[in-house]
Amino acid sequence: MRRRRLRWILAGAVALLAAGGGLLAYLVKHDRAGSVYHPHARFVPEPTPTKLPKRPEDRFSWPFYGYTKEHTRFFPAPEKVRPPFRQMWERNAHTLLEFPPVIYAGRIYQLGDNGQLMAINKHTGHVIWTKHVGKLSASTPAVTANTVYATVLDSGHSRHPGRIVALNSSDGSVRWFRSLPSPSESSPLIDRGRIFFGSQNGTVYALNDGNGKVLWAYHASGSVKASPTLSGGALYFGDYSGHVQAVSERTGRQIWRSGSGGTLLGSGTFYSTCAVYYGRVFLGNTDGRVYAYDASTGKLDWAVQTGAYVYASPAVTNAPGLGPTIYLGSYNGTFYAINARSGHVSWSFNAHGRISGSATIIGKIVYFADLGEHKTYGLGISTGRVVFEKRTGAFDPVISDGKNIYLTGFTGLFGLAPR
């Protein structure tokens, strides 16, 4: 999905340059917005989780995209969950795996780009059941104790191309589904009996998770492709009109709406899912910037220019020696550790290829994949030094259950255990 969008953008740029000549070339050269810093902006200290919540092994869950409802993409794994790893199993999905899976108890639920949802035994890699929920998909499912939810880009029906499906997690049978007037690649989020997700016509939905009834719908000014992020009773998301907004979780009423600063040719688009922490909203934009907004007001705290598209969603934690830090990569092939308070770069790593997917922090290691080289890296969060490298991966590579890690490659899923 992201590669197709990039081709459209590049094709449009070539056509505009041919038509506009020298003036347009000048505008493009000077269009990219620079970095912005507001050093006295509000910053709220927050504790960093240090231990996994206590729960029986058969009730562990990585329930949705980004692990937490704030989408911090930080998982407080024990120190022993670190490289080197041995491979327990490999499962070839025979399709592109653009987004990572989720976990509940002993099962992993992986949605492939061909619309096939698989339930996999996390100990052996054996497939328990499969279900085609559509022809095309690009999102992470959400899972509860008995239900798994998935959004669909192409259902196969021209009048209702989008769809959200709720399936029995034990056998894959359909509990309910709702047809949508536009495609959806927004990974669903669940809270207190409600499921939240966006769609390409700009509608963000709140549905009853038991029957799919629409509770409210919010209409943004552009496509909402990210997963809504929940914090303090508000949902946060960017859209393809270049705006970020906060809406009430309960009613869908808009709380605030902010732009991306505006370039000469218009604002970039927000594909990135927000991470909300430290009283701020962090996300990337196709104008090349990484943004931080005040979560209460929408006021811009800082914006850092990377020089290339930032599709990636940030991972956030308090890194030893660095303090509050966000981690994400840019299409220029550079992976960044950025001070969450000031916006200044603490360290960077050159992966020598395009970085489109998002990073995940497991303990004190941040993992990301390189779309250009099809390689997954693990870097120390404080130093940026390489501690793990595997020649597979493209987008969002790693999740964990606190004992092992599960790595999403280009078409395969791998179970890896610490040596």
The answer to whether 348 touches 337, Cβ cutoff 8 Å, is yes
* pLDDT above 60 (res 5): no
The answer to whether 399 touches 103, Cβ cutoff 8 Å, is yes
The answer to whether 323 touches 337, Cβ cutoff 8 Å, is no
Number of residues in the chain? 419
- What mean pLDDT, rounded, does the chain reach? 90
Side-by-side strand order, sheet with 243-248: 229-231, 234-238, 243-248, 254-259
Closest by CA to 283, choosing from 70, 63, 137, is 70
In the chain, the domains with their CATH numbers are: 58-418 (2.130.10.10)
Q: What pLDDT digit, counting tens, does each position of 254-290 carry?
A: 999 998 764 444 468 999 999 999 999 999 999 999 9
* pLDDT above 80 (res 17): no
What per-residue confidence (pLDDT) applies to 47?
Answer: 77
Report CA Rg, the chain. Answer: 20
Q: What pLDDT digit, counting tens, does each position of 377-399 carry?
A: 999 999 999 999 999 988 999 99
What per-residue confidence (pLDDT) applies to 42?
Answer: 79
Q: What pLDDT digit, counting tens, does each position of 113-146 carry?
A: 999 999 999 999 999 999 999 999 999 999 999 9
What per-residue confidence (pLDDT) applies to 58?
Answer: 65
**Stronger pLDDT, 90 or 14, i.e. the higher one:** 90
What per-residue confidence (pLDDT) applies to 20?
Answer: 45
* pLDDT above 80 (res 52): no
Kindly report the backbone phi and psi dihedral angles of residue 185, in degrees, each rounded to the nearest multiple of 5, phi listed first. -125, 30
In whole angstroms, what is the distance from residue 231 CA to residue 378 CA?
28
Give the CA distances from residue 111 to residues 96, 238, 364, 388, in Å, rounded to whole numbers and listed in that order: 10, 23, 28, 25
**Stronger pLDDT, 55 or 173, i.e. the higher one:** 173
Structure tokens at 35: 């970095």
Q: What pLDDT digit, counting tens, does each position of 337-376 carry?
A: 999 999 999 999 999 989 999 999 999 999 999 988 899 9
What per-residue confidence (pLDDT) applies to 24?
Answer: 35
Q: Which of 2-16, 246-260, 328-342 has the lowest mean pLDDT?
A: 2-16
Percent of the chain past pLDDT 70, that is, above it, reads 88
What per-residue confidence (pLDDT) applies to 53?
Answer: 64
Q: What pLDDT digit, counting tens, does each position of 212-242 carry?
A: 999 999 999 999 999 999 999 999 999 999 9
| Single pTM value for the model | 0.90
Q: In the predicted model, what is the mean pLDDT of residues 15-38?
A: 50
Assign 38 a pLDDT band (cuts: 50, 70, 90): confident
Closest by CA to 331, choosing from 351, 355, 359, is 355
DSSP, collapsed to helix, strand or coil, labels residue 196 as strand
Q: Which of 145-154, 263-272, 318-327 has the lowest mean pLDDT?
A: 263-272
Q: In the predicted model, what is the mean pLDDT of residues 69-74?
A: 97
